[in-house]
Every structure is written in structure tokens, then in C-alpha cells.
């Protein structure tokens, strides 16, 4: 860092600083290195099985853009992209009174989404004639169903090649067809009216609101983890552990329960988190909160740029609620005292004899002088507490009769004595009254 | 063949009754009982502390409630090393530069699936059957720069408290989830994040779920603060720091009634009281002249939170309010409404009203009279699968009204600060970008700025290249000296070294009104592994 003007010539003795802390640096660095080596060795020796889908993986720290806004392939986090090179008309088959299980033969026994429930070619052969395999002499009719068929140049010639590879990754759901069918759930309850559908795609797979029609906590469980896969921690696996561009499961739109993770959600999550913390805890563990709110080091997107020069503006307006991450009397006070934003002590840059003034003229003074600090104190005393302790207030506001003696300037407004607020403060912790009022002072009784 | 799946009515038919799985649990129970007997002999003369009694009761409850099997099956370890280096300048004409070289090591260890599946065919025990897990997180942190190493006097104590190679136990608890279909429990150091507050405590939380969608909660323990063993002051209320009141551990109790298991409603009415130990008051003279005050209360809150989901998710109102019984103020209120009228369009309105909160033995509560009010409106639309656009507006209300008796009156009783912003997001298979612009004025000053974030995936998605440009113009209304601009350029990589192992490095070069240049660097190395054992 270099500063403008002559300040740059007066930088502190950096070399001495580093020398002074060399031992502790080496020791901690060595310890950290050994910890990592040990972790690697442990991992190699115990043959770690890395879970598929690890909730909110801690592996990837968001440095600039949040991870959930990073690059992603198409498809949804629940139903990955499909490629079904087939020609099929569900409506046509249903019109012929062909039951679903006639083609989806294994569906009644299917207990998980990994089961292959597409009709095989052989099941089509029952009506369409033997093609899988095709008996000798039987003409090939591959293009009746398959769309990627390469014909020979002669239209009457034999089929040369069929690309029949079907890509339909399993849905990221916990679902048991058997269980639902055994309870009398009809196919159309989840998949909709198939009589008007040609080739079924992911559009015919049930949307969340369809599931929630029954999973309402009364007919069936409303627990998110009942359908969305969870990991060992009990949290929903919202993203792939290793596929960094797989779509992530993020509360969005009508499935978000008031907590849509939109582009402004980081700034606005406070209300939803307080009103419905159980919802957050379906996916997030404590580290999701502590990383930012109690993080000793935070991603650089937070407080980016020259925030140290700017933070006073935010603190004064509480634009960002500083106290949600910083404790006034440890974080704020420590930094302010260390940098000399104080009128006491050897490092103090303010106070008697200094040309620097933190507060504007008319901020405080003897009784009857302008007291504009009163506005700040009654509205945002948190900023006062980031530099001042109670002693600063007691110097004027304590009564003259207490040991440390103030100037008897009452901060209480008219009607305070005997008010509900006066009684609440006095009854809950009388110690606070005795800081300004001497024992026996009738005002201690809220009279 | 009987159906080999979850659900209580099927267990008998499964042939997997409790009795057959009992021996390992019985061994553990016997061992625990033996140890407890031995402990009683050794510690017979000692007074049984309330915490010990509570712990014993909890252990008994868990042993009673837990099915009689216990095998560690999944262990998750997360080791994360974070480093950051930058400089800060002290105010004044000498403008001394202080270096910050911070290193933080997190070690998280979780032991999950402590109870085996009821069904041999299950990979993981069904939620209905209950589960036990142990979750811990530890942090070691230190600042090697001159900011910490050359600190002196009062500042040194505080700086050391925050960055002085301190070991923090962030949380460490045993969690029982859905035992016997009705008991949720956590015992140990834990967080509560709710309408009451966000704070940490050492103790226990218990919830009994009744069949009528009602949960009865009770919790108690000691609040975590800087005086606790491996404690940290982050969530300690301000007001009386570094006084004797700050060195005593504060007992805490609370209770709540909540709605459980309803899709369309979540609600909770909670109460919490934190005590100030009487030992603090032994030398304080009471009003009648006698020495010593009775024990007092440091915090006492009642909170009500409600979140609902209506019209198939289109309408989601929520509210959280907290009443401070100690100050007689409604000191925290958040009301919001989310309207997702189509899958693409979303509108959110919020109103917040907050007051700074302090310990009740702090005189800061006396001065704190006005609340901050904040109203926000957000609109977002998805344009296809690639583009997302959002706009945001914000209004803040600052009231000055009650100082006339002091001989000074505000120029205006109400002032309004306003701001807004717009954001565009774009993402495809290997690239994403986010463009932001925002400005806000009013109390404090004015800030106007914008940023562009990008990420590009290369090398088979193993490497993410990050870039960011950030510009800001600001003006502090109280001091002409605090006016200027800053322009920052950030660049870095986020590399997946192996499955679960990531390295992120990000550097920033900054140009401002006050610095010709300033460089800072951030790095993070994380190893996140899950091991399966005993299976």
C-alpha cells in the first residue's frame, strides 16, 4: 500500500514488525502445514468415500460472485437434462386403452429414482412386431420409433446405424413408485393428463406444487428431506460435490416459501431467517451463518474496495447492520483504539492538543450548550458504543451524589419517572440505576 | 414377503425388532452407568452443580429415548485454512501504516448416522426412526501483522481477544433428531437463530412434538461470551464489556411453543431470560444502605414469528417481532411479503424496525429512544434460463423528536434516506457474470457505485477464474475529509485440486482518493471429506 502525498514516506517499519513476529509465524505456519499433511495422509490411508451430493459443500469458498450464481449447465437441479431420441405418442397409445404398466412394466416394483423405468425395445415388440432382436428376413422398422437413424443411400436398402442411446439421468429425488401406487395414487395424479402428450419429457415429471398437494403435513409428511436427498448431516444435498457446473437446488419462485434466493437476497435475508429459521436449516448448517456473521476472515466481496474509509457512513445510518457481525465493544472498539481514534492513551490521535476533531462543532458541551450528540445517542447509540464506554456518558449524566460524580444532566425525557419503561429497567437490573443515582435516591423507586 | 421398509406398523413383520439389536447399546449403557457410579464415588463431597444435574438428566433422557444401537457410520471432516493480508492507515498527519496478516484455521468434525438403519436394506436410517449425530467446529485465529503485534495498552487486550491466536469452539453438540417420533434434542455448545436473537449458549435444547402439530420447547444453559472456556465474544451483547459484569457466566433459560409439521404455516412463540449473577452485586450498596443487591436480569425477551405459504406458493408473508421486557420496547420487527405470481416474476416487500440492544445492566439502554425503520422493495424477473434482472429500492426513516427538554431541538423530526439499485445476472455452461449498480443517500452520507463480477470455468471445470471490478464514489455528510472514490480490481482462481479439496486465491489492487495503490490478498484452502466406517 502506498499513500498519496507525503504520507507514503512515513510508512511504519515493516521489516521490524515481521522480524518481531517471525517465531510465532513459523510455529503456526508449521502447525498448519502439518495439519494439512496429516489430513491428506489420513484421507489416503482410510480411502475416503466422498459423498455424492454433500449439502452445501464447504470446499468452494465464494470469493467474488456467490457460488449459486456461477456458471451452470442447462436442466434443473432436480431433473437433469435429458436426451431421448425417440418418436412416441402417449395419447395415441392411451386412446387404444393401453394401460401404463403395459409398457412401463417394472413400475409397480420400482422403489427408487435410479430404477430404469423406460420401456425396453422388447416390450414394444409385443405389438409392433419383433425388432429387438430382429429375426432374419424381418424388415427393419427402426425409424418408426428411433429418431437418429442413418439410412443407406438407397432408400430401400438396409438400415445402417441406429443411435439408440438414451440419456435420462436419474432425478435428484427420493421417490418410491411402489409405495405411492400401493396407496392408490394414480399415474395422472403426478404426471398429469398424458392423453394429450406425445413424447414425455421432464415437463411431464411432477413439479413441487404437485407433490405438496398431498405432502402437506396432514396427508403425508411435509418434510423437505422426504423427497429431496439429504446427506449424512441431515441437510438437503443442494449441489453436486464434484460437478461444479451442475445446477444447484436453490429456493426460487413459488417453491421458495418466502425465501427466494434472488439477486438481492444476501442483503434482505434477515427477515426470512428470523421468521422461519427452520426453513433455512433444511439446507444450511451453522457454518453457513458463522462464516460471514462470525467469520474472522470474510470473502472479499463483503466490504470490498476501500471500505475502511467508508464504513462510518454505513455505521451512522445502520445501512448495514454492523452488529450482526461485529461486536461494538470488541471488534469496533479494538480497531478504533488501535488506530488512535481515541482521546486517551499514548496512541490517541484526538483530544486535547490535537488538531483532529471527530465530532462536528456543537456536538457536546456544558449544560445549555448545543448538544447535537443527543440525536445520535437516542437514535443510534450503537455507534457511540463503538468508541465510548459508559464512563463517557456518566461524566455528565450521573447525579452529583454518586461516587464518580457527574453533572446531574438528566437524559430521561419528561414523564420517564414512574413510567413503564422506568419500572422495567429498575425491576430487571437495579444496578443500572445505581450507576447514576446514589443509594437512597427516591428516584431509584421510579417515583 | 413383508414389505421391508420404514414405518412403525411394519417393524414386527420385518423381523427386525428392537430386541435383536439391543446388545451393543446395552453395553454402552452399562459402561456409562459404571462410569457414573465411579464418578459419584470420587466426587461425593462435591456440590452437584445445576449444570451437572442437567447433563445427567439429558444423558438419561437420551439413553431412554435412543434405540439400543450405536455405531459410528459417517465422519465428515472439514479443514479450512484462510489467510488475508492488507494494510490499514491510522488517521492523522503521520498516517502510520499497520499491516494485517491474518490466518484462520477451521476444523469441523461431524459424526453422523450414529444409529444404524432399522432395515438391513437401508443405506441410511429413515428419518421416522430417529437419528443421533455429533457436530463440532473449532477455530484458531491469529494476526501476525503490526496491527496486533505492536498494539499496546487497552487496545492490546481487545485486539488479542479478537485476533490473538485464540481457540474458539464455535459449536460442539450432540443432536438427537426425531427420537421416538417426538423428541428433538441438542446438548452442548450451540447456536440459536430465531426471532429471539442469534446467540450461542452452552446447554441443552429440547423439543417435544405432540400429535396435534404443536411443539413444546425448553432450553437452558450459559450464554457463550469471551469469558467462557474457548468462548468468543461475537454474540455477547454490548454494554458492559471489560467490567466485572463481563467476567461472570450468565445462566439462561427459555421456553417456546411452536407449530410443527404443517406445510402452510410455521409459527413460534418464545421466551428467554438471561440472569446476571448476584455475586456481581456483593459490594454494591442497596437503597436501604445494606451491601449487596439481589441477582438481576441481563436480558428478557418474548418473540413471535410467523411464516405462511398460501396460494400454492405464490403468496408468502412472514413476520418476526421481539419485545424486550427489560426496556419495555418492541426492539425488533421484520415484516415481509413475497409474491411469486409466476415462476419467472418475483416481488418482495419488507419493513424492518430495529433498536440497538444492550445488556440490561448497561446505561446505554437509557439513551436509546428511537428505532430505525427501513422499507424495501425488490422485483426480479428471469428472462429465459440465462438472464436474471432485478431492481431494488430502499427507504430509511430517521426520527429525532425527544430532545427539546435538553434545550436542543432537531431541525426536522423526520428525515428520509433513499436508495436503490439494479442487477443483471447472466450464466451459461462455462461463464457467468453479474453487473450491479447502486446508490443510497440520507443519514450519514451518499454512496454511489457499481461492480462487475465474472467467473469463467476452464480445465474441465476444475479451475474457475474470477474477476471483479468495483467502483464507488462516497461523501460523508459530517466531514469533508471523508469524501472520495475507490476503484478496485480483483482477480483470482478457485481450483478444485481433488474431490472436496479446493484452493481459492484472490488478489485486489485498489486505487482511491487517499492511496495511490493498495494491494490485498485472500486465500483459502479447504479439504472437505466424508468417510464411511463400520459398515
What pLDDT is attached to residue B394?
92
Of B441, B439, B433, B494, which Cα lies nearest the Cα of B469? B433
Interface test with B, best of A232, A311, A344 (most B CBs within 10 A): A232
Lowest mean pLDDT among A82-86, A390-394, B11-15: B11-15
* Subunit contact B81:A333, Cβ cutoff 8 A: no
* B358 neighbourhood in chain A, CB within 8 Å: 385
- Dist. CA B144–CA B161, nearest whole Å: 14
Q: How confident is the model at residue A63 (pLDDT cuts 50, 70, 90)?
A: low
- Dist. CA B404–CA B409, nearest whole Å: 5
Write the burial class of residue A134 (CB in 10 Å: 0-12 exposed, 13-18 middle, 19+ buried): middle
| pLDDT over 90 percentage in chain B | 41
The C-alpha cell of A387 is what? 468508541
- Nearest residue in B to A31, CA atom: B105
Q: pLDDT per residue over A206-229, tens digit each?
A: 988 889 889 988 889 888 889 998
Q: pLDDT per residue over B190-225, tens digit each?
A: 988 888 888 899 999 999 999 899 999 999 999 888
Q: pLDDT per residue over A286-327, tens digit each?
A: 888 888 888 777 777 788 778 888 888 888 887 777 888 888
Interface test with B, best of A213, A218, A243, A263 (most B CBs within 10 A): A263
Return mean pLDDT, chain A. Answer: 79
What pLDDT is attached to residue B71?
53
What pLDDT is attached to residue B222?
92
Interface pTM, i.e. ipTM: 0.82
What pLDDT is attached to residue B40?
42
Q: Between A and B, how many residue pairs show a Cβ–Cβ distance under 8 A?
A: 628
The C-alpha cell of A39 is what? 489430513
Identify whether the C-beta of residue B420 lies closer than 8 Å to the C-beta of residue B442.
no
Of B302, B306, B303, which Cα lies nearest the Cα of B262? B306
- Dist. CA A337–CA A330, nearest whole Å: 10
- pLDDT value at B479 more than 60: yes
Question: From the list B88, B281, B428, which residue is nearest A308 (CB)?
Answer: B88
The C-alpha cell of B301 is what? 425477551
Q: pLDDT per residue over B52-104, tens digit each?
A: 565 566 566 555 555 455 454 788 889 999 999 998 888 776 778 889 999 99
* B362 neighbourhood in chain A, CB within 8 Å: 390, 432
Q: pLDDT per residue over B375-398, tens digit each?
A: 999 999 999 889 999 999 999 998
Neighbouring C-beta atoms of residue A339, cutoff 10 Å: 20
A15-24, A435-444, B433-442: range with highest mean pLDDT: B433-442
**Cell 396427508 found at:** A219
Q: pLDDT per residue over A183-207, tens digit each?
A: 999 999 999 999 999 999 888 999 8
* Subunit contact A371:B406, Cβ cutoff 8 A: yes
Q: pLDDT per residue over A80-139, tens digit each?
A: 888 889 889 999 999 999 999 999 989 999 998 999 888 888 888 888 888 888 888 888
What pLDDT is attached to residue A198?
92
* Subunit contact A297:B102, Cβ cutoff 8 A: yes
pTM of the shown model: 0.82
Q: pLDDT per residue over A11-59, tens digit each?
A: 333 333 233 333 454 565 566 566 555 644 554 444 434 443 344 445 5
- Dist. CA A176–CA A185, nearest whole Å: 12
Instruction: Give the C-alpha distances (Å, rounded to integers) separating B172 from B169, B178, B349.
Output: 7, 19, 37
Write the burial class of residue A247 (CB in 10 Å: 0-12 exposed, 13-18 middle, 19+ buried): buried
Kindly state the average pLDDT of the residues B11-27: 30
Interface test with B, best of A34, A266, A329 (most B CBs within 10 A): A329
Question: From the list B92, B195, B431, which residue is nearest A71 (CB)?
Answer: B431
Amino acid at each position: 500500500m502506498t499513500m498519496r502525498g507525503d504520507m507514503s514516506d512515513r510508512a511504519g517499519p515493516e521489516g521490524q514488525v515481521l522480524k518481531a513476529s517471525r517465531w510465532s509465524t513459523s510455529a503456526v505456519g508449521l502447525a498448519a502445514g502439518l495439519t494439512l499433511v496429516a489430513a491428506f495422509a489420513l484421507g489416503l490411508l482410510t480411502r475416503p468415500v466422498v459423498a455424492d451430493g454433500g449439502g452445501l459443500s464447504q470446499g468452494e469458498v465464494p470469493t467474488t460472485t456467490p457460488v449459486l450464481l456461477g456458471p451452470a449447465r442447462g436442466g434443473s437441479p432436480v431433473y437433469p437434462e435429458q436426451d431421448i431420441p425417440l418418436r412416441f405418442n402417449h395419447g395415441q397409445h392411451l386412446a387404444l386403452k393401453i394401460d401404463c404398466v403395459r409398457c412401463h412394466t417394472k413400475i409397480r416394483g420400482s422403489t427408487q429414482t435410479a430404477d430404469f423405468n423406460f420401456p425396453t425395445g422388447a416390450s414394444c415388440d409385443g405389438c409392433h412386431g419383433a425388432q429387438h432382436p430382429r429375426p432374419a428376413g424381418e424388415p427393419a422398422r427402426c425409424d418408426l420409433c428411433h429418431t437418429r437413424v442413418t439410412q443407406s443411400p438407397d432408400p430401400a436398402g438396409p438400415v445402417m446405424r441406429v443411435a439408440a442411446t438414451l440419456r435420462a439421468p436419474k432425478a435428484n429425488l427420493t421417490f418410491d413408485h411402489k409405495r405411492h401406487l400401493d396407496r392408490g395414487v394414480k399415474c395422472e395424479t403426478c404426471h398429469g393428463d398424458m392423453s394429450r402428450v406425445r413424447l414425455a419429457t421432464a415437463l411431464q415429471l411432477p413439479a413441487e406444487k404437485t407433490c405438496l398437494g398431498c405432502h402437506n403435513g396432514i396427508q403425508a409428511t411435509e418434510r423437505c428431506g422426504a423427497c429431496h436427498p439429504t446427506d449424512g448431516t441431515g441437510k438437503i444435498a443442494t449441489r453436486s460435490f464434484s460437478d461444479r457446473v451442475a445446477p444447484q437446488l436453490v429456493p426460487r419462485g413459488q417453491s421458495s416459501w418466502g425465501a427466494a434466493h434472488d439477486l438481492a437476497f444476501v442483503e434482505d435475508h434477515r427477515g426470512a431467517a428470523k421468521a422461519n429459521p427452520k426453513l433455512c436449516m433444511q439446507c444450511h448448517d451453522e457454518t453457513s451463518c458463522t462464516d460471514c456473521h462470525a467469520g474472522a476472515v470474510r470473502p472479499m466481496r463483503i466490504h470490498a474496495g476501500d471500505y475502511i474509509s467508508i464504513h462510518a457512513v454505513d455505521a451512522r445510518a445502520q445501512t448495514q447492520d454492523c452488529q450482526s457481525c461485529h461486536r461494538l465493544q470488541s471488534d469496533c472498539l479494538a480497531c478504533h483504539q488501535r488506530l488512535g481514534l481515541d482521546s486517551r492513551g499514548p496512541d490517541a490521535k484526538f483530544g486535547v492538543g490535537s488538531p483532529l476533531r471527530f465530532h462536528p462543532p456543537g456536538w457536546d458541551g456544558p449544560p445549555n450548550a448545543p448538544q447535537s450528540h443527543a440525536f445520535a445517542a437516542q437514535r443510534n447509540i450503537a455507534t457511540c458504543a463503538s468508541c465510548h464506554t459508559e464512563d463517557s456518558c456518566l461524566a455528565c449524566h450521573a447525579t452529583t451524589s454518586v461516587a464518580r460524580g457527574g453533572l446531574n444532566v438528566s437524559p430521561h425525557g419528561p414523564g420517564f419517572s414512574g413510567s413503564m419503561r422506568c419500572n422495567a429497567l429498575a425491576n430487571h437490573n437495579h444496578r443500572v440505576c445505581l450507576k447514576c443515582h446514589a443509594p437512597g435516591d427516591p428516584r431509584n423507586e421510579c417515583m | 414377503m413383508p414389505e421391508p421398509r420404514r414405518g412403525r406398523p411394519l417393524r414386527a413383520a420385518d423381523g427386525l425388532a428392537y430386541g435383536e439389536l439391543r446388545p451393543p447399546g446395552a453395553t454402552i449403557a452399562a459402561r456409562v452407568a459404571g462410569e457414573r457410579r465411579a464418578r459419584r464415588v470420587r466426587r461425593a463431597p462435591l456440590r452437584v452443580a445445576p449444570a451437572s444435574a442437567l447433563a445427567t438428566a439429558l444423558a438419561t433422557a437420551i439413553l431412554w429415548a435412543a434405540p439400543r444401537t450405536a455405531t459410528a457410520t459417517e465422519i465428515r471432516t472439514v479443514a479450512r485454512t484462510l489467510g488475508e493480508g492488507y494494510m490499514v492507515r491510522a488517521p492523522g498527519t503521520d498516517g502510520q501504516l499497520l499491516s494485517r496478516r491474518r490466518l484462520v484455521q477451521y476444523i469441523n468434525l461431524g459424526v453422523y448416522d450414529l444409529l444404524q438403519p432399522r432395515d438391513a436394506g437401508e443405506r441410511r436410517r429413515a428419518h421416522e426412526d430417529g437419528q443421533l449425530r455429533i457436530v463440532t467446529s473449532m477455530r484458531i485465529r491469529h494476526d501476525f501483522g503490526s496491527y496486533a503485534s505492536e498494539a499496546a495498552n487497552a487496545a492490546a487486550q481487545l485486539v488479542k481477544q479478537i485476533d490473538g491466536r485464540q481457540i474458539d469452539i464455535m459449536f460442539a453438540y450432540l443432536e438427537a433428531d426425531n427420537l421416538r417420533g417426538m423428541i428433538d434434542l441438542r446438548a452442548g455448545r450451540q447456536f440459536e437463530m430465531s426471532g429471539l436473537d442469534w446467540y450461542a449458549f452452552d446447554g441443552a435444547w429440547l423439543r417435544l412434538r405432540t400429535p396435534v402439530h404443536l411443539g413444546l420447547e425448553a432450553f437452558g444453559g450459559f450464554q457463550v461470551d469471551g469469558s467462557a472456556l474457548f468462548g468468543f465474544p461475537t454474540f455477547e451483547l454490548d454494554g458492559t464489556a471489560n467490567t466485572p459484569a463481563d467476567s461472570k457466566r450468565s445462566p439462561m433459560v427459555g421456553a417456546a411453543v411452536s407449530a410443527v409439521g404443517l406445510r402452510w404455516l410455521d409459527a413460534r412463540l418464545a421466551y428467554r431470560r438471561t440472569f446476571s449473577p448476584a455475586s456481581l452485586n456483593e459490594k454494591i450498596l442497596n437503597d436501604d444502605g445494606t451491601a449487596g443487591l439481589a441477582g438481576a436480569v441481563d436480558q428478557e425477551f418474548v418473540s413471535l414469528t410467523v411464516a405462511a405459504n398460501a396460494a400454492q406458493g405464490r403468496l408468502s408473508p412472514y413476520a418476526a417481532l421481539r419485545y424486550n421486557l427489560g426496556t419495555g420496547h418492541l426492539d425488533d420487527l421484520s415484516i415481509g411479503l413475497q409474491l411469486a405470481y409466476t415462476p419467472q416474476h418475483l416481488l418482495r416487500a419488507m419493513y424492518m424496525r430495529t433498536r440497538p440492544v444492550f445488556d440490561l445492566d448497561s446505561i446505554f439502554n437509557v439513551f436509546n429512544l428511537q428505532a430505525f425503520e427501513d422499507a424495501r422493495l425488490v422485483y426480479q424477473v428471469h428472462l429465459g434460463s440465462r438472464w436474471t434482472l432485478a431492481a431494488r429500492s430502499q427507504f430509511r426513516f430517521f426520527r429525532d423528536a425527544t430532545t427539546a427538554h435538553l434545550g436542543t431541538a432537531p431541525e426536522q423530526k423526520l428525515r428520509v434516506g433513499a436508495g436503490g439499485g439494479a442487477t443483471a445476472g447472466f450464466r451459461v455452461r462455462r461463464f457467468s457474470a453479474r453487473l450491479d449498480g447502486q446508490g443510497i443517500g440520507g443519514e450519514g452520507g451518499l454512496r454511489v457505485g457499481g461492480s462487475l463480477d465474472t467467473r469463467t470455468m476452464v480445465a474441465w471445470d476444475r479451475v474457475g477464474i474470477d474477476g471483479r471490478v468495483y467502483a464507488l464514489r462516497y461523501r460523508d455528510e459530517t466531514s469533508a475529509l471523508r469524501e472520495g472514490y475507490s476503484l478496485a480490481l480483483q482477480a483470482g482462481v478457485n481450483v478444485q485440486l481433488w474431490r472436496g479439496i479446493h484452493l481459492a486465491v484472490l488478489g485486489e489492487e485498489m486505487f482511491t482518493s487517499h492511496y495511490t495503490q493498495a494491494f490485498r490478498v485472500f486465500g483459502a484452502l479447504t479439504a472437505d471429506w466424508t468417510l464411511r466406517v463400520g459398515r
